[in-house]
Structure 1
Amino acid sequence: MKPLLLIVAYLVAVTLPLAVSAWVGGPPRAFHQELASGLGILAFSMILIEFVLSGRSKTISRGIGMDVTMRFHQLMARTALVFALLHPFLYLGTPSGGQRPWDPTRALTITTDFSALSTGIAAYLLLPSLVLLAIGRTQLGYKYETWRLLHGIGALLIALLLLHHTVYAGRYGSEPVMTWVWLALTGLAAGSLLKVYLVVPLLQKARPWRVSSVVQLTPRQWEVTVTPDGHQGLAFKAGQFVWLNVGHNTFSMKENPFSICSAPAAGPEISFMVKERGDFTCSIGQIEAGTTAYLDGPYGNLSVDNRPEPGIALIAGGVGLAPLLSILRQLRLSGDSRKVKVFYGNRAVEQIAYREELGSEDVVYVLSEPPEAWQGEAGFIDGALMDRIFSEQEFGEWVFVMCGPAAMMDAVEDHLIERGTPSHRILSERFDYD
């Protein structure tokens, strides 16, 4: 029910300005003009609600998961972009010029007040740039912290420009009721930014952590363990993640999402499996014990707690092992009686982490570049491999939990659906999009 309620809440929030505009009414206009206004209203409301979707809401994250949230965020952002781009062209053919005595409501006339139009034009130019930069973030190669700062500032600037344009150039936006609606939604959007960049950092100051150990697992993978400093720690479920800030003040932009690899039942210490990729992670091995850290979370719903399935398949690629290791550790510590099978894919044998702890029973190791003496599976985690391991009954009854490269998860998800696995029994978590 929770995902359904969240979807309903989203639809209500997005369509509220449109409904109020229809209630405010006005003299009838040509259909294409009403469509232009409607698309503009929907685009603006969708942009404002995007702030909430990306604002680290634990309710949304735990209710529908980060995977669905981020995919929905992307889809709605692109839909809003299409609506916004179409909006001005549908006014073509509408008489221009100043207000006519015979048209006091501006039902047939677009304003020529350049200050009101200029903010709309500026937002019209900025919005495609914001979306395209988000899509091409990885290819452009600039630092995550830089992109995050620019994305937040750009989105807020667009929202403010559109607020001015809508209220002063819009037929409906200038109505007092609509003005208050737009102010309330813009305030909600700005509030979500203030929560992430002001409220949460202030709260984190009272709950610091200390790095207790940094251990090298493989040539490019590390385990970082932090312990609570003066508080009880963090209540989380196996499979969830947090935003981790190590060695910086709470207002620093240098924080990144990492899945927890330790189990809740193991105690207050929390461990992370971190791969060297760039920026902060390249210097992970230089972090000293005692360094101050801050955690924001937990987020995500990659959890098998209280699920009814008789078996659990954990499918990991590379550092995607982290949340699944947390789940596996929790299952073992709690004495869970459900059957478990683990698939762990890597490129080379030296990249396999926690091999001694994982063991060999019900664990399938897969290497894409195996050495000559390799006794495990070679290639990739794909449908053919799963068909050799799972029975038809297991495909239909087990829950499948995945984290790893997008190509692996896409291939496995497609095969599971093809084999009849219900979608609610396929859980996945991604941190890379587009």
Structure 2
Amino acid sequence: MANTPYPESYYAASANPVPPRPALQDDVETDVCVIGAGYTGLSSALFLLENGFKVTVLEAAKVGFGASGRNGGQIVNSYSRDIDVIERSVGPQQAQLLGDMAFEGGRIIRERVAKYQIQCDLKDGGVFAAITAKQMGHLESQKRLWERFGHTQLELLDQRRIREVVACDEYVGGMLDMSGGHIHPLNLALGEAAAVESLGGVIYEQSPAVRIERGASPVVHTPQGKVRAKFIIVAGNAYLGNLVPELAAKSMPCGTQVIATEPLGEELARSLLPQDYCVEDCNYLLDYYRLTGDKRLIFGGGVVYGARDPANIEAIIRPKMLKAFPQLKDVKIDYAWTGNFLLTLSRLPQVGRLGDNIYYSQGCSGHGVTYTHLAGKVLAEALRGQAERFDAFADLPHYPFPGGQLLRTPFAAMGAWYYGLRDKLGF
């Protein structure tokens, strides 16, 4: 049987040690079968186990193999489309529910880290950096919007103040969110998996779901076994493939690229980011960066629509890093990798139910670290019969990409080109 290892990333190289997990090789019965051991699946499993469910998790490769173990590691609040956009689309009542949840994911992460003593280099503080006056105006509006929904740990940064938190001359200002922050994303996933197992949950690795037999007692088939369950949670996101065709039609895997420098040393690292906050700029095709626990700079950006792996990731990302920090021109890049996230046309997550017993959440659209942890709680609530928050997400409109799977990649790439041009021209 094929064994899929982690990609060669900084996160895999610095992962906390974990015990080997077996592949499923027989038939098992459970209350809930979770497909995917990323953040959505692990968060769902934890909340369900804490509420007395018997849970089995199937992972096609290894825990955190997909976006959960490859992302930029930034705790960013709200959704890929903010609450004001949601409000215009669905009205004030539904938007109020979604707005009330917009800052919950970060709290869940911190609760998990504290409760289960997860070692993942958690740091507080995230900066949104404005390159133009228009972007700064948007941050001022965003602060008012977020404060309307009770989120108050925010500080606007003028040009002098942002220089105190990031040594980059590009920015005219920014906004600091002290409830944001950053983590080692793979170690967070591994710690959550250990928490799942500590509560009696079972995780099978190298056990891809190849077919779902739908019905009153659904069955998930893997190459060497099957799981019969009362409920199924589909949490594969960009790595789900065509297992559930009706979900694949409404989403598109996209790749993002990340590099990690050699260790910079305490002095150079502190000169770049004196308070050790993470940073993302306000462009549509944004760049993001932060320091690791061992004082490397993680720098990411760029999108490849259709999730192809670029031939030379460093050639794409290093120039972006040097534009922000020309003082790193002689610094060596130790790791370069790509990972896929799932894009929806609305850039809002897709949550729903197929039949009576198959639940899903997908399509974080690049905003997944916090949302996925919230999604796990919302899915668990729905399985317990508390569906108000689940319904607030499920009632969001889900759109298929125009032209279907054949045209979704050029369509999205053309849109990104347009917004990228607007970024460059300062519109």
TM-score band, normalised by shorter chain: under 0.3
More strand by share: 2
The structure showing larger relative contact order (alpha-carbon pairs under 8 Å, at least 6 residues apart) is: 2
Structure having the larger proportion of residues in helix:
1
Rg larger for: 1
